[in-house]
Amino acid sequence: MGYTEHELAKDLENQEYKYGFTTNIESDKAPKGLNEDIIRFISAKKNEPEWLLEFRLKSFQIWKTMKEPEWAHVKYEKPDFQDIIYYSAPKQTKKYESWDDVDPELKETMNKLGISMEEQQRLTGVAVDFVMDSVSVATSFKEKLKELGIIFCSFSEAVQEHPELVRKYLGTVVPSTDNFYAALNSAVFSDGSFCYIPKGVKCPMELSTYFRINEGGTGQFERTLVVADESSYVSYLEGCTAPQRDENQLHAAVVELIALDQAEIKYSTVQNWYPGDKEGKGGVYNFVTKRGMCGYRSKISWTQVETGSAVTWKYPSCILKGDYSVGEFYSVAVTNNFQQADTGTKMIHLGKHTKSTIISKGISAGQSQNSYRGLVQIHKNAEHARNFSQCDSLLMTDICGAHTFPYIECKNSTAKIEHEATTSKIGEDQIFYCLQRGIGEEQAIGLIVNGYCKEVLNQLPMEFAVEAQKLLAISLEGSVG
Amino acid sequence: MTEAIQEKKFEIAQQSGTSAFSTSSTKEARKEFATLELPTTRMEAWKYTRLAKLKRANLRISDEETVSRELIKEKLVPGIEGSVLVFVNGFFQESLSEIQAESALSITACSNADQLLQFETVRPNEADFFDTMNQAYATDGVELHVRKGETAGQVVQCLFLTVGNEYYAGVRNSIHIESGAAAEFIFLYDSEKSEQCLNHSLTNIQVDQQATLTLNLIQNSDPQGFCVNRSYVSQARDSKFSINTITLDGLLVRNDLFIRVDGSNAETHLNGAYILKGKQHVDNHTTVDHRVAHCESNELYKGVMDEESTAVFNGKVFVRQDAQKINAFQSNGNVLLSDSATVNSKPELEIYADDVKCSHGSTTGQLDEEAVFYLRARGLSEKSARSLMVSAFIGEVLDQLGNEELHSHIYTLLERKYAWVL
């Protein structure tokens, strides 16, 4: 990409501060609870067209008929859906007056992650005075993208400026009827991101860079739609490694990816939301629906590093509709203390010669429960489909749990499916080897865990791979059993 | 005497009054059964198995059918000397059976219902449809008991035969191997000129300290028959339990195996093979519950599906919190020979202890064309090349059968059914 943050900072210094003001949206909140009026209120606030309001209302009707799913291997107190504020205008987050007020523990964590000073300040919400102002940085990137015809903006903006695209693709991969939380999201989604890559365009930068800056305040019901037109390529990263102290307990996001013929989408997630304290109190519920649709010879690759949230319920999936399409899923899920994760993927093979790879690495520590739940489905016409799945679990203490629930359904005799899973703990001989060579136990565990997750971390964009590696070590701190 | 029990959608009529199991618990079970609904595919344990065909059958209980001695001989495994117990449509046939008395082993047919239900096992808490059905309607059963420290001198064969149309053949068995004892049994599920019969068996098994039990289940009922088989096993310290489930025929076969390992240093082996064609549906569910440390379990299930057949495999390994040093292996292999065949495989691990070695693997594929070509190049016909490959694939499971007579008997049955050229 050849354009670093520092170069950008210099550029911006010489540039006129164009968008230096922010519209102060009236800080109004919707009343608690969920009903049609609230949905109309959200829609009106966002000045949405009629069809989108209808989409929301229809989803709400569907949601009302649905029951909360209970099949996942997690236990939690069900959220009260009438006790949530579904709309609150994004506010300027200035949580701390000066850098000295910031929680030293948080600072230390960020130092360990190797996050730059500027970003640390931004993430913690300290008033930032210097050039790294998010709005202008974002704009500069945006112009570069604009030259190539790439649309990348917030979901609300896309609804206003590119309604035809949003209308065409919204709900095509994850329909409102899909599941309880997808229906809820479709009814009340606050904002999110929209991305469109035109035909034949290879997006020159990791969209992450922009995203990292612009992410704040996207809310708890996020909606992401990524459309890669024929023969295009995009790499997209959401989330960040820094700990996110979020007030919202329930997060129900929907992500839809559409890879048209010969397009490729690489979607990486690093999630480190508040997992609750050491006694298992509090923490975020992360109930996400992520799915991609693959056209002819296209490819969708999901990579996720999940370390946060009290309860995770997430299955990034691929519908391999086009012939010769490829789906990939690389995942590292770490649970510590009282965290619970039920995560995995679905690979639905519809087209001929479709291929999928699943690499899932689960690490459980503390008293956590970590499950892999996956589906590989080969349909009747999916000739010569190929799947390889590997799900490994690592147990760090004798009171945590690691579970594997793979579903393999095959209706075609030319398909080849392989699935393997192992569960074990870190070899005592491996630790002993490290100790002998003067590497402390904590470090040794970090080293072994990183080696164990390497296959997945290698899939992440460079700069995040480094952070993710450190993140793993931090997540497992003090978990030696 | 005709007794019909009205149930919303599922009904079993009883035509003969000679049931050995007409105790108060039976009556209670019938009452409960009347309130239960047939499991549907919405239930996780029945996700891939539809019971619509069973629902349509008008099942009744009757002992009116009889069979000849010659037929029984044909159905048994040749070359095995030992006691033979014959059940026709769920009723014990004393005249066709042959019980050889032995001091080490006691064989009792027609046992008491309550006695057979004594073992507390990993049974699900809520009322189970087929368990209750068995409790309510099972007619006879066999109790096999091997005394402390002794080894049974014979291999007992139990033949559960269905004859005629639309019968409910329910049996409830109990096997108890006392400490230090050893035995091997063969349960044969077969049929003769029979359609739409439900061969239903529930077996409670207790393997005490240092005891060894090998149980072979051979399912070869007619292509229009239903077979529901459930075994509850509890294993004590240092015991060894092996079960071989071979399914060769049947329209709808469901096997549930619940094994609870209660003692340390116990060994469990589960082997299964299923060779299907036509519209057959075979569903194997296994649960191994490791409750204590230092145990080992090995599971190997392999199947070949042809034509429009469907196979389901659901293996579950539980390792409880304090059950350290467990080695549990689970493997499921499937070969699809036709485009209309289906396989659903779900190998599960649920692990709550850290110092364990658990793994599972599942593969689905077809015969390697290159290997077939290799054999063809060496002068084998297409058919024999393929049957050689299939038998080699299944052979891995069949070779686990320690009993040579049984091993060759199964190959004979397979040759008869599939006209294998070997």
Contact A417 B363 (CB under 8 A): yes
- Are B408 and B375 found together in one domain? no
Q: Which two tokens stand for residue A245?
A: 């102290």
Q: What is the DSSP string of B259-326?
A: EEE-STT-EEEEEEEEEE-TT-EEEEEEEEEE-SSS-EEEEEEEEEE-TT-EEEEEEEEEE-TT--S-
Q: Where residue A68 falls among pLDDT bands split at 50, 70, 90? A: confident
**Nearest Cβ partner for A421 among B340, B341, B359:** B359
- Are B350 and B400 found together in one domain? no
**Nearest Cβ partner for B349 among A399, A404, A418:** A404
CA B387 to CA B385: how far, in whole Å? Answer: 6
Considering only CB atoms, which chain B residues are within 8 Å of A422?
A: 357-359
Number of domains present in the structure of chain B: 2
Entry pTM: 0.84
**Nearest Cβ partner for B339 among A399, A407, A413:** A413
Contact A408 B364 (CB under 8 A): yes
- Say what percent of chain A tops pLDDT 70: 77
**Nearest Cβ partner for B346 among A398, A408, A416:** A408
- Are B208 and B346 found together in one domain? yes
ipTM score above 0.95: no
Which has the closest alpha carbon to A39: A163, A221, A282? A221
Q: What is the mean pLDDT of residues A16-34?
A: 48
Q: Which of A347, A419, A445 to mutate against chain B (most B CBs within 10 Å)?
A: A419
Please report the pLDDT score of residue B115 as a whole number.
54
Contact A398 B44 (CB under 8 A): no
Q: What is the mean pLDDT of residues B218-225?
A: 90
- Are B111 and B175 found together in one domain? yes
Please report the pLDDT score of residue A478 as a whole number.
66
- Are B293 and B368 found together in one domain? yes
Please report the pLDDT score of residue A407 as a whole number.
94
- Are B279 and B418 found together in one domain? no
Maximum CA pair distance of chain B?
A: 68
> Is residue B289 within 8 Å of residue B323, measured between CB atoms?
no
Considering only CB atoms, which chain B residues are within 8 Å of A419?
A: 345, 347, 360-363
Pairing between β-strand B240-249 and β-strand B342-351 as defined by DSSP bridges: unpaired
Min mean pLDDT across A102-106, A147-151, A434-438, B140-144 is at A102-106
- Are B229 and B348 found together in one domain? yes
Contact A408 B362 (CB under 8 A): yes
> Is residue B261 within 8 Å of residue B233, measured between CB atoms?
no
What's the Cα-to-Cα distance from B132 to each of A422, B27, B37, B44, B111, rounded to whole Å?
37, 11, 11, 19, 18
Q: Which residue of A has its CA nearest to B324?
A: A398
Instruction: Tell me the per-residue pLDDT of B317-327, one tens digit each, with 9 for 90 and over.
Output: 999 988 999 99
Could you tell me which residue, B186 or A47, shows the higher pLDDT? B186
Q: Which two tokens stand for residue A163?
A: 């309604």
Could you tell me which residue, B15 or B412, shows the higher pLDDT? B412
- Are B315 and B386 found together in one domain? no
> Is residue A226 within 8 Å of residue A265, measured between CB atoms?
yes
- Are B301 and B407 found together in one domain? no
Three-state DSSP class for B347? strand
Please report the pLDDT score of residue A319 as a whole number.
96
Q: What is the DSSP string of A180-219?
A: HHHHHHHHH--EEEEEEE-TT-B-SS-HHHHHHHH-TT--
User: How many contacts (CB atoms, under 8 Å) link A and B?
Assistant: 120
Q: Is A352 on the interface with B (CB under 8 A)?
A: no
> Is residue B147 within 8 Å of residue B100, measured between CB atoms?
no
Mean pLDDT across chain B: 87
CA A449 to CA B204: how far, in whole Å? Answer: 44
Q: Where residue A201 falls among pLDDT bands split at 50, 70, 90? A: very high
Contact A423 B356 (CB under 8 A): yes
Maximum CA pair distance of chain A?
A: 69
Could you tell me which residue, A183 or A18, shows the higher pLDDT? A183
Please report the pLDDT score of residue B5 as a whole number.
38
Three-state DSSP class for B34? helix
Pairing between β-strand B310-319 and β-strand B281-290 as defined by DSSP bridges: parallel
Mean pLDDT across chain A: 80
Q: Where residue A301 falls among pLDDT bands split at 50, 70, 90? A: very high
Q: Which residue of A has its CA nearest to B363?
A: A418
Considering only CB atoms, which chain A residues are within 8 Å of B338?
A: 413
Q: Is B341 on the interface with A (CB under 8 A)?
A: yes
Which has the closest alpha carbon to A25: A220, A294, A217? A217
Please report the pLDDT score of residue B329 as a whole number.
93
> Is residue B61 within 8 Å of residue B16, measured between CB atoms?
yes
Q: What is the mean pLDDT of residues A115-124?
A: 58
Residue B282 has pLDDT above 60, yes or no: yes
Pairing between β-strand A311-314 and β-strand A340-343 as defined by DSSP bridges: parallel
Q: Is A29 on the interface with B (CB under 8 A)?
A: no
Contact B342 A411 (CB under 8 A): yes
* DSSP at A82: G
Q: What is the mean pLDDT of residues B50-66?
A: 87
Please report the pLDDT score of residue B296 as a whole number.
95
- Are B364 and B407 found together in one domain? no
Q: What is the mean pLDDT of residues A16-31?
A: 42
Q: Which residue of B has its CA nearest to A396?
A: B354
Instruction: Tell me the per-residue pLDDT of A202-229, one tens digit each, with 9 for 90 and over.
Output: 988 777 644 443 344 445 788 899 999 9
Q: Is B390 on the interface with A (CB under 8 A)?
A: no
Contacts of residue A155, defined as CB under 8 A and 6 or more positions apart, other chains included, come to: A166, A189, A191, A192, A193, A194, A223, A224, A225
Q: Which residue of A has its CA nearest to B319?
A: A401
CA A468 to CA A447: how far, in whole Å? Answer: 13
Contact A415 B336 (CB under 8 A): yes
| Structural domain span for residue B384 | 380-422
Contact A408 B358 (CB under 8 A): no
Among residues 300-329 of chain B, which lie with CB inside 8 Å of chain A? 321-322, 324
Please report the pLDDT score of residue A7 as a whole number.
58
Q: Is B76 on the interface with A (CB under 8 A)?
A: no
- Are B211 and B243 found together in one domain? yes
Q: Which two tokens stand for residue A214?
A: 């612009």
**Nearest Cβ partner for B360 among A407, A410, A421:** A421
Contact A400 B352 (CB under 8 A): yes
Please report the pLDDT score of residue A166 as a whole number.
93
Q: What is the mean pLDDT of residues B223-252?
A: 94
Instruction: Tell me the per-residue pLDDT of B27-50, one tens digit each, with 9 for 90 and over.
Output: 888 888 888 888 988 888 899 999
Q: What is the mean pLDDT of residues B278-305?
A: 94
CA A179 to CA A190: how far, in whole Å? Answer: 18
Considering only CB atoms, which chain A residues are within 8 Å of B336?
A: 410, 412-413, 415
For B28, the enclosing helix (H) or strand (E) is helix B24-35
- Are B61 and B109 found together in one domain? yes
Considering only CB atoms, which chain B residues are within 8 Å of A417?
A: 362-365
Residue B248 has pLDDT above 50, yes or no: yes
Instruction: Tell me the per-residue pLDDT of A421-437, one tens digit each, with 9 for 90 and over.
Output: 988 888 888 889 999 99
Q: Is A340 on the interface with B (CB under 8 A)?
A: no
Q: What is the mean pLDDT of residues A28-35?
A: 75
**Nearest Cβ partner for A417 among B342, B352, B364:** B364
Q: Is B345 on the interface with A (CB under 8 A)?
A: yes
What's the Cα-to-Cα distance from B341 to each of A419, A473, B333, B417, rounded to whole Å?
19, 47, 14, 18
Residue B98 has pLDDT above 80, yes or no: yes
Please report the pLDDT score of residue A6 as a whole number.
58
> Is residue B289 within 8 Å of residue B321, measured between CB atoms?
no
